[in-house]
Amino acid sequence: MPAYAVIGAQWGDEGKGKIIDFLAENAAVIARYSGGNNAGHTVINDAGTFKLHLVPSGICWPHAMNVIGNGVVVDPEVLLKEIGENNLDPTRLAVSDRAHLIMPYHVVLDNLEEARRGNAAIGTTGRGVGPAYVDKVAREGLRVGELLNPEALASRLTEIVSFKNEIITKIYGGDPVDLNDVIALTNKWATELSEYIRPVENLVGDALDNDEKVIVEGAQGALLDMDHGTYPFVTSSNPTVGGTLTGLGMGPRSYGGVAGVFKAYCTRVGAGPFPTEIHGEQGDKIREQAGEFGTTTGRARRIGWFDGVAGRYSARVNGFDAMIITKLDILDGWDEIKICVAYEIDGERTDQFPVDAAKLARVKPIYETIPGWTESTRAITEPEQLNDGARAYIKRLEEVVGVPTKILSTGPRREETLVLEDFLA
């Protein structure tokens, strides 16, 4: 009964979508467990380029069932758009009846709250994700399954929208949302989504019982995790491995492997401490070369050297048994490459990752500099094609993080992938 988790090991945007599309050839189910349409996964293969925010990255394989788990927050407008664009029918996509809905007032509140935070803004994606999770925890959320009971839903909405409007208008001075518009929207969602709404635990559990492979698809990254990330500069869910169990309703013994997807360098979008950030020209050069602009918001991503301290921490809190390293080719042609191996905090050296954001903001990275390589790694697919410099870099990352590498991504396309060891074995 093997499940294989593919988890973002940094601050998101590690290239999980490409890797999942690659692995999904050999899986029966691809299941997302957390986040919402704050995510942006890019998949490029012979069928085209797919920019996905909500549906799992297995959709290009007709044999695969794609599951949106209960831990996800779902904006049905986004879901319906992705269903339409990708011709997905209920034999290929299911959404948990227990996933929570992102409602129009969540989007309004996300943006009003960010404006209120002013200089302390988190830099959210503005998609209503945080407020939807707040309502879930406050037990005021609406679940996808409630769409199927319109009368009861309308009654709950009457109360909820009235209270949300008090907050929107009286605290923030914003424009209220219209109850009738919201009810009409939920009726439309119910009609268009009803066939996709299912209790998905059985889809995942039955596949595992039948010895079929399930890929558990991460969104965001471990360092944006609500508990283990750089709080408060985090997302409102648990992208780490623990979130997979609650977000899908499966047990820990299902796992055959847990991989951390690491970019060969680091990026971060939005605010928050980023010890290895590269400012100025050098960062700009990587950003342009690698196209480091958000898939969801188009924002320029901050660029940094590989942070081994954060990487080791990420491996610890997720129990990674494999590293998947992406965007290796971006470092081709660099004279030298830095790896952060420890931090100096208040004059003391440490190899521990301080999760406290204020402390993390004070750390000075201690770097090891290793020689770059001139040969191209772009699109290589065989271990023998890996030049000595790139090989030495990967080896050093493995030592620093303490986890072996199983897959290298050498370009954005599905086939631009080098398998060192079968992750789904």
Determine if 228 is a binding residue for ligand IMP (CB under 6 A): no
Task: Using the Cα atoms of residue 263, residue 269, residue 272 and residue 275 in order, give the sign of their dihedral.
Answer: positive
Give the footprint of ligand IMP on residues 266-305 (CB under 6 A).
Answer: 269-270
> For residue 34, what are its two tokens?
């957390």
Q: Which helix (H) or strand (E) holds 349?
A: strand 348-350
Q: Is 38 annotated as a binding residue?
A: yes
What size, in residues, is the chain?
Answer: 425
Stretch that binds ligand IMP, among 119-127, 145-153, 207-215, 316-324 (CB under 6 A): 119-127
Question: Among residues 58 and 270, whose Cβ is nearest to ligand IMP?
Answer: 270
Q: Is 246 annotated as a binding residue?
A: no
Q: Which residue is nearest to ligand IMP (CB)?
A: 270
Q: Round to whole Å and give the CA distance between 62 and 80.
A: 19
Strand partners, 3: 214, 255
Q: With left for phi above 0 and alpha for psi between -120 and 50, is residue 69 left, alpha or beta? A: beta
Determine if 243 is a binding residue for ligand IMP (CB under 6 A): no
Question: Among residues 129 and 323, whose Cβ is nearest to ligand IMP?
Answer: 129
Q: How far is the CB of 200 from ligand IMP (least distance, A)?
A: 22
Q: Is 188 annotated as a binding residue?
A: no
> For residue 224, what are its two tokens?
């944006």
Q: Round to whole Å and give the CA distance between 175 and 83.
A: 31
Q: Other C-beta atoms within 10 Å of 396: how many?
A: 17
Stretch that binds ligand IMP, among 7-15, 96-104, 189-197, 201-209 (CB under 6 A): 7-15
Q: Is 296 annotated as a binding residue?
A: yes
Q: Round to whole Å and give the CA distance between 326 and 41.
A: 14
Q: Is 372 annotated as a binding residue?
A: no
Q: Is 13 annotated as a binding residue?
A: yes
Q: Round to whole Å and give the CA distance between 42 and 24.
A: 14
Determine if 123 is a binding residue for ligand IMP (CB under 6 A): yes
CA-CA distances (angstroms) from residue 179 to 32, 165, 184, 249? 31, 10, 9, 33
Q: How far is the CB of 323 from ligand IMP (least distance, A)?
A: 19
Among 122, 204, 214, 403, binds ligand IMP (CB under 6 A): 122
Q: How far is the CB of 268 from ligand IMP (least distance, A)?
A: 7
Cβ–Cβ under 8 Å, residues 260 and 7:
yes
Stretch that binds ligand IMP, among 19-27, 120-128, 281-289, 315-323 (CB under 6 A): 120-128
Q: How far is the CB of 42 from ligand IMP (least distance, A)?
A: 11
CA-CA distances (angstroms) from residue 411 to 74, 174, 292, 329? 30, 45, 14, 7
Q: Is 297 annotated as a binding residue?
A: yes
Q: Round to whole Å and give the CA distance between 318 and 88.
A: 32
Stretch that binds ligand IMP, among 185-193, 232-240, 304-312, 369-377 (CB under 6 A): 232-240
Determine if 39 is a binding residue for ligand IMP (CB under 6 A): yes
Q: Which helix (H) or strand (E) holds 258?
A: strand 255-263
Treating both helix axes as pointing N-terminal to C-terminal, what angle do 104-117 and 129-137 enclose, rounded to 10 degrees? 110
Nearest 10 degrees: CA dihedral of 75, 76, 78, 81?
A: 180
Determine if 37 is a binding residue for ligand IMP (CB under 6 A): no
Determine if 410 is a binding residue for ligand IMP (CB under 6 A): no
Q: Is 42 annotated as a binding residue?
A: yes
Catalytic residue set: 13, 41
Residue list for the binding site for Mg(2+): 13, 40
Residue list for the binding site: 12-18, 38-42, 125, 139, 220, 235, 295-301, 327-329, 409-411
Residue list for the binding site for substrate: 295-301
In the complex, which residues of this chain contact ligand IMP (CB under 6 A)?
11-13, 38-40, 122-125, 127, 129-130, 219-220, 224, 233, 235-236, 269-270
Residue list for the binding site for IMP: 13-16, 38-41, 125, 139, 220, 235, 299
